[in-house]
Chains A and B, each alone.
Chain A
Amino acid sequence: MVDNKVDKINSVFKNNMRKYGMAIALILIIGLFQILTDGILLKPLNITNLILQNSYILILAVGMLLVIITGNVDLSVGSVVAFIGAIAAKLMIEQNMPVIPVIIISLLIGALVGAWHGFWIAFVKIPAFIVTLSGMLLFRGLTMVILKGQTLAPFEKSYQILSSGFIGDIFGGQTFHITTLLMGIVFSLIYVFVEMKNRKDKIKYGFDVISMKLLIAKISLIVIVINLLTYSFASYRGIPNVLVLLFFLVVIYTFVTNKTIAGRYIYATGGNEKAARLSGIKTNKVLFWVYVNMGLMTALAGIIFSGRLNAAMPGAGNGFELDAIAACYIGGASASGGIGTIIGAIIGGLVMGVLNNGMSILGIGIDWQQAIKGLVLLIAVAFDAYTKSKSNN
């Protein structure tokens, strides 16, 4: 009996270690830098900066995660980010096109680029590594052609709303951004409602649920984190627009991957393509749409990044693909496909973002930052492999 209990606790710990390991690591890293930087890291201004600096990598990671779940990779996203920026700049600065059509056209072109890659990968069956490596060269080249090797700047002010704007305060709060605080409360309520509904449904089906006490503890913790975060934003300039966008992307894609047929098809295709196909899944269509989606996310990241730089540059987005891929792997995605979560990829991206930001505050050079990030990637994946081998035996 006692043995059973110990075993159970052990297995719960082991399972959760795997599930929450990287989240715990993120908290530890934040704590470490909070101490090392004498509290600068979590200052409202810095949190805002952290989000703005990493938003485009996180958006890319959302798209990349789906690609990685299917067991593939997209090396072209850095070049495509630059390509989209160049097109937007060309349309806006040289053709004087208004903002809304520029954004729509950019997103469309992003999706087309994704469809281009998806076509070769899914229907002609050329390995994704090769197709997107070609895309990486192709779109970097096209960017330089469009920009004629020059930097195009500046964009219209309104183009930057997405990348550097903040939500307006309809209540006109003086010291605090009241809308932000309210949003925190509204999100908390929605969250509580969703958790309660899940519990009720589970009980309706007669399944085991965690005890009310534990649930309340869990809910309280998350509500506190949400409100601390919004409080922090409220004492600076409010919530950045890009964070709202990111929030919705995470919610939507988490929902799609966890709860919908499309999501299940993506996991099944990556887990065993042959078995998925024989189960009636059109795996080549799944692959194709995953790449179209990747293109769309890349376009979004391209718009935000060029807006943030307020310029389109031939060398923009260099190496973004590797940051996005690293975010997914650090967040527990499997290189052979079939495994990975959106939240994991976001956490992975944040781990790298906090490391960058923290080390920058400490005055550590970009050289060492790069090296340390490389080691973190290896350690994270090694840790994952280790816990996996433990839980398998």
Chain B
Amino acid sequence: MATTKFLNREVVEMSEIILKMKNITKEFYGIKALDNVNLEVKKGEIHALVGENGAGKSTLMNVLSGVYTYGTYAGDILYEGKECKFTSIKDSEKLGIVIIHQELTLSPYLSAAENVFLGNEQAKNGIIDWEKTTTEARKLFKKVGLDEDPDAIANTLGVGKQQLIEIAKALSKNVKLLILDEPTAALNEDDSEKLLNLLLEFKKAGITSILISHKLKEVSKVSDRITILRDGATIETLNNDKNLSEDKIIKSMVGRDIVDYYPKRKHKIGDIFFEIKGWNVSDVADESKKIIDDVNINVRKGEVVGISGLMGAGRTELAMSIFGQSFGKKLSGKVLKNNKELKLNSISQAIDNGIAYVTEDRKNYGLVLIDSVKNNVSLPNLEKISKNSVINENEEIKIAEKYKSNFNIRSRDILQNTGDLSGGNQQKVVLSKWIFSDPDLLILDEPTRGIDVGAKREIYTIINGLAEEGKSILMISSELPELLEMCDRLYVMNKGRIVGELSKEEATAESVMKCIMKDNKEAEYGG
């Protein structure tokens, strides 16, 4: 009789708690990445997991999904009341636990439908049933709100759509617990919004989600409860209600109050330093298509100028075309520095003329990941530390050490490969590299994408320092609050054109959106 009673109680608990991770400890070569972490997820809720980079979020999810197999960690996983000992990702997927990683894992040359059923092909006796594949994919796409031909090749689709394909793939596996690692990191506001609404719909359908995110706004918007990790330990789990403020979450994440999230700087704005006049750029593939259309902008000395706009507005293309024609064809227009026209036919000419471009994609375009911090920092300006093209390595070490300590780059030493560093520290290396090239105009493209609160603030401090030194800074970002806080002036871009210029006082989320909407409307009526 006693047993039945006991079981009954378990049943009650089970219906509430879908996942319980108890005292999870995971070590990498003697260093504890996770130290007695506990996580409880209720059935049907959206549970957010937040923490700084390196806090252990991804490690914890890798333990849960079976990437780190049973036995390589200590502690228990209870899923739907049963103890789980996963030996591969397949095991966890069988139970309906599906993880969608930060870096999308679609096979680029397969179609959307093929990707959805990759590893789970709609086949009979090993022969693929294409009709079923297409119709089933279409059904799934409808569920996730993706309006796309199932035969479209994956790499021709935008990041937002690729993300939805990943989710459709998860649905096809009968997902019960969906884990999303930084799903909106690469998405613009519009797509992010859509994705979050989709999560809310899933919730209605009874699917439980774990959402890992750096963006506290979206966390507080959709999640029911929030678990905060710091330095590999659970700090607390908070109920997301009206009383919960972002400050409280941040405090819990970093273990201290961040008094000013955006550090202050002394504004010393000088004369117009850089001027871009009548800038036109055509598409590489289709020369008749204008990507940048008659752009006129300027940046003063010591000024931080923002460029805002939706994804695809042409911000990155504008920056890269200025940076030694690294993007585009049939360029026309002038770049003036101190009223003198610059010749910018190659990237090395751009660098010599004092222009630096910090890419939005640090892993693919910013760093040599298999090389050291030292060699990455010195790369764009080796001449500075060389005599007769022989590198003075001692000088190089000194410089790398200087940036490592000035910018607080957390690496084992300057000889550690940049591929082993966290996103925030990688970004600091990229910044070091370009600051070492001693630019007058620094173009920052999404300088804080995918990095944690603490590192973000450090990056802001670096930007402020540069502005105070009198450098001109052009900052592109999809995070509007960041632009509003950091910039002295803001240009709004839409469809390759500048559609608004706002002073710091004028710039608000609404006024920026208004510029874009007005432009879209004009295009509608005008066209």
Contacts and interface: CB of A to CB of B under 8 A. Distances in A.
The answer on A and B forming one complex is yes
B380 A280 contact: yes
A262 B368 contact: no
B28 interface: yes
Contact of A280 (B351, B370, B389, B390): B351
Contacts of B395: 205
Contact of B365 (A264, A278, A334): A278
B405 to A, nearest CB: 14
A297 to B, nearest CB: 21
A201 interface: yes
A290 to B, nearest CB: 16
Contact of A271 (B370, B386, B390): B370
A393 interface: yes
Interface string B390-428: 110111011000000000000000000000100000000
A267 interface: yes
A338 B351 contact: no
A264 B369 contact: no
A264 B391 contact: yes
A276 B367 CA distance: 8
Contact of A261 (B324, B326, B391): B391
A271 B369 CA distance: 7
Nearest to B419: A392
B357, B389, B420 pick with most chain A CB within 10 angstroms = B389
B382 interface: yes
Contact of A393 (B28, B326, B346, B378): B28
Given A207-B397, A393-B29, A272 B364 contact: yes
Contacts of B397: 205, 207
Given A259-B391, A393-B29, A276 B368 contact: yes
Interface residues of A, number: 30
A304 to B, nearest CB: 29
Given A202-B394, A275-B365, A393-B28, A282 B382 contact: no
Contacts of B380: 279-280
Contacts of A125: none
Nearest to A3: B30
Give the bracket for the number of chain B residues in contact with chain A.
35 or more
A205 B364 contact: no
Given A277-B347, A278-B347, A279-B433, A261 B382 contact: yes
Interface string B295-335: 00000000000000000000000000001101000000000
Contact of B364 (A204, A261, A274, A338): A274
A201 B394 contact: yes
B205 to A, nearest CB: 40
Contacts of B30: 3, 7
A3 B29 CA distance: 12
Interface in B349-383: 350-351, 357, 359, 364-371, 375, 378-380, 382-383
Contacts of A339: 370
Interface string B9-37: 00000000000000000001110000000
B348 interface: yes
A260 interface: yes
Interface string A243-271: 00000000000000001111010011001
B28 A271 contact: no
A281 B379 CA distance: 9
A277 B379 CA distance: 10
Contacts of B370: 271-272, 334, 338-339
A204 B378 CA distance: 21
Given A201-B394, A264-B375, A278 B359 contact: yes
A3, A7, A281 pick with most chain B CB within 10 angstroms = A281
Contacts of A207: 394, 397
B368 A338 contact: yes
A267 B371 contact: yes
B302 to A, nearest CB: 25
Interface in A163-202: 201-202
Contacts of A262: 389
A262 B391 CA distance: 10
Contacts of A261: 382-383, 386, 389-391
Given A267-B371, A279-B433, A260 B390 contact: yes
Contacts of B357: 278
A210 to B, nearest CB: 15
Contacts of A272: 364, 367-370
A259 B393 contact: yes
Contacts of A277: 326, 347
B518 to A, nearest CB: 35
A282 B346 contact: yes
Contacts of A281: 348, 379
Contacts of A205: 394-395, 397-398
Nearest to A202: B394
B393 A275 contact: no
Nearest to B375: A264
Contacts of B398: 205
Contacts of A278: 323, 326, 347, 357, 359, 365-366
Contact of B379 (A202, A259, A276): A276
Interface string A333-372: 0100011000000000000000000000000000000000
A275 B28 CA distance: 30
Interface string A290-305: 0000000000000000
Contacts of A204: 394
A204 to B, nearest CB: 8
A392 B390 CA distance: 31
A204 B389 CA distance: 22
Contacts of B367: 272, 275
Contact of A268 (B348, B366, B379): B379
B433 to A, nearest CB: 7
Nearest to B358: A278
Given A207-B397, A280-B351, A275 B368 contact: yes
B364 A260 contact: no
Contacts of A280: 324, 346-348, 350-351, 380
A205 B402 CA distance: 13
Contact of B390 (A7, A259, A267, A393): A259
A12 to B, nearest CB: 13
A339 B371 CA distance: 9
Contact of A338 (B371, B378, B386): B371
A137 B351 CA distance: 42
A228 B375 CA distance: 37
A205, A271, A282 pick with most chain B CB within 10 angstroms = A271
A277 B364 CA distance: 11
Contacts of A260: 386, 389-391
A275 to B, nearest CB: 5
B68 to A, nearest CB: 12
B367, B382, B420 pick with most chain A CB within 10 angstroms = B382
B31 to A, nearest CB: 10
B371 A271 contact: yes
Contacts of A275: 364-368
A183 B433 CA distance: 44
Contacts of B379: 264, 268, 276, 279, 281
18 contacts: A202-B394, A205-B397, A205-B398, A207-B397, A261-B383, A262-B389, A264-B382, A268-B379, A271-B369, A272-B368, A272-B369, A277-B326, A278-B326, A278-B359, A281-B348, A334-B370, A338-B368, A339-B370
Q: Which 8 A-B pairs have the closest CB atoms?
A: A271-B368, A280-B348, A279-B380, A205-B394, A272-B368, A280-B351, A279-B379, A261-B389
Given A205-B398, A261-B386, A338-B368, 20 more contacts: A7-B30, A201-B394, A205-B395, A260-B386, A260-B389, A260-B390, A262-B389, A264-B375, A264-B378, A271-B369, A271-B371, A272-B370, A274-B364, A275-B367, A278-B326, A278-B359, A278-B366, A279-B347, A334-B370, A393-B29
